[in-house]
Structures are given as structure tokens and as C-alpha cells.
């Protein structure tokens, strides 16, 4: 008996015998299983290579996050260096270092 037949049987049992809590839980469980398998099939993760594919996607996502964090840190570092360089340049002009260059 496949899962769709199991779900149909549980629904028939619920209508004939009344809705007991155990029957309702079994219906929900079977419906969840069928829905999950259908969803995995639709997105192409229902084959034997799916765990490897998911692992590879996780690694790729982690690499993207690491690269993003590294790029942000580098950009902030360059921004701080630029502001400090402008500050030093302004201080040098203010103290008259421009006259020394002439």
C-alpha cells in the first residue's frame, strides 16, 4: 500500500468510525509525508544525490557569507585609512607644511 492509498484509507476510516484523535493524527502525519515528498520532487531533491547537493549548497552559502564579511571588513578598513589620510593632510596644511614644499 503506497502513501496515497494509506491516506485515502485513513480518511475513509475517519468518516466511517468518526474522528478519533489517533485517526486524525495519522491523517496529518500521512498528509505531511505525501506533501513533503511532493515538494522535494518538485524542486529536484528526491533522488539519491540530494544530500550531497544540499551539503554543497550549504558550503557555497557559507563561502558567500565569508566573502561578504571579508569584503565589508576590507571596505571599512579602506574607508578608515582614507579618513585618517585626509585628517593628516588637513593637519599638515593647517600647520603650514604647504610652505615647506615651495
Rounded CA separation 12/19 (Å): 10
Q: Is the pLDDT of residue 5 over 90?
A: no
pLDDT at 95: 87
Distances (CA, A) of 6 to 49, 76, 97, 100: 27, 59, 88, 92
Residue 17: its pLDDT value, please? 67
Q: For 38-85, how does the pLDDT look when each residue is reduced to its tens digit (9 = 90+)?
A: 999 998 888 899 999 999 999 999 999 999 999 999 999 999 999 999
Decide: residue 45, CB within 10 A, 0-12 exposed, 13-18 middle, 19+ buried.
middle
CA distance linking residue 98 with residue 102, whole number of Å: 7
pTM for the predicted model, two decimal places: 0.55
> Containing domain of residue 30, as a range?
1-46
pLDDT value of residue 77 = 98
**Residues 62 and 102 placed together within one structural domain of the fold:** yes
Q: Are residues 62 and 76 in the same domain?
A: yes
Amino acid at each position: 500500500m503506497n502513501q496515497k492509498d494509506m491516506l485515502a484509507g485513513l480518511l475513509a476510516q475517519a468518516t466511517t468510525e468518526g474522528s478519533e484523535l489517533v485517526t486524525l493524527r495519522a491523517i496529518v502525519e500521512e498528509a505531511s509525508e505525501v506533501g513533503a515528498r511532493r515538494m522535494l520532487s518538485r524542486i529536484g531533491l528526491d533522488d539519491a544525490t540530494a544530500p550531497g547537493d544540499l551539503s554543497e549548497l550549504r558550503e557555497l552559502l557559507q563561502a558567500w557569507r565569508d566573502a561578504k564579511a571579508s569584503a565589508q571588513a576590507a571596505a571599512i578598513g579602506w574607508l578608515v585609512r582614507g579618513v585618517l589620510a585626509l585628517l593628516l593632510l588637513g593637519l599638515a596644511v593647517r600647520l603650514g607644511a604647504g610652505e615647506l614644499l615651495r
